[in-house]
């Protein structure tokens, strides 16, 4: 009986670890624009680039390039630092042409990344969900 409990505990732990996979990857994006709440979709990739992340989006044919700093939850505290595979939050500064903005994304238990964002100079917030491809 004890080996069965150990096996079940290990499988449960592995299942939780699989759901929290870190930010690196390619995602489908579903979002809502600030102000008028119009929906949009596209793709985004997250790549480690030295101590930070590069985050390029393609939203309805428009390209945005972001730079992100990561953070990981360790024993209930957020630890900020170099980009690492177990980061569970990203703060992203992004731009496209003359527009720029700021976003914050947090990894959810189901593996999706949920975030809020705004354009520079705006006072409204949009939202976005990333689903790993």
Instruction: Give the domain extent around 66.
Output: 22-132
Report the run of H or E that residue 14 belongs to, with start and end. helix 2-19
pLDDT tens, residue by residue, 110-123: 999 999 999 999 99
Question: CA 80, CA 111: separation in Å to the nearest integer?
Answer: 20
Tell me the two tokens of residue 6. 């150990």
In a domain, 64, yes or no: yes
* pTM, rounded to two decimals: 0.82
Would 3 be classed as within a structural domain?
A: no
Asked whether residue 12 is assigned to any structural domain, the reply reads no
pLDDT tens readout for residues 27-72? 999 999 999 999 999 999 999 999 999 999 999 999 999 999 999 9
Q: Is residue 15 part of a domain?
A: no
End-to-end CA distance of the chain: 39
73-112, pLDDT tens digit by residue?
Answer: 888 899 999 999 899 999 999 999 999 999 999 999 999 9
Domain assignment of residue 44, yes or no: yes
- In a domain? residue 86: yes
- Number of structural domains the chain divides into: 1
d(CA 117, CA 101): 7
Q: Residue 69: what are its φ and ψ, rounded to 5°?
A: -115, 135
Residue 8 lies in a domain: no
Residue 7 lies in a domain: no
What CATH number does the domain containing 113 carry? Answer: 2.40.128.120
Q: Which residues neighbour 133 within 8 Å (Cβ) at sequence distance 6 or greater?
A: 25, 26, 27, 28, 43
Whether residue 1 has pLDDT greater than 50: no
Joined together, the tokens standing for residue 80 give 């900020």
- Is the per-residue pLDDT at 14 higher than 50? no
């Amino acid at each position: 009986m004890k080996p069965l409990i150990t096996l079940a505990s290990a499988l449960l732990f592995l299942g939780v670890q699989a759901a929290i996979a870190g930010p690196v990857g390619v995602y489908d994006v579903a979002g809502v624009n600030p102000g008028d709440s119009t929906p949009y979709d596209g793709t985004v990739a997250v790549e480690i680039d030295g101590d930070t992340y590069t985050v390029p989006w393609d939203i309805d044919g428009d390209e945005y390039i972001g730079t992100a700093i990561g953070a990981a939850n360790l024993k209930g505290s957020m630890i900020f630092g170099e980009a690492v595979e177990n980061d569970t939050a990203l703060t992203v500064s992004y731009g496209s042409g003359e527009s720029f903005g700021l976003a914050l994304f947090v990894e959810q238990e189901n593996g999706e990344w949920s975030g809020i964002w705004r354009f520079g100079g705006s006072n409204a917030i949009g939202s976005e969900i990333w689903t790993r491809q």
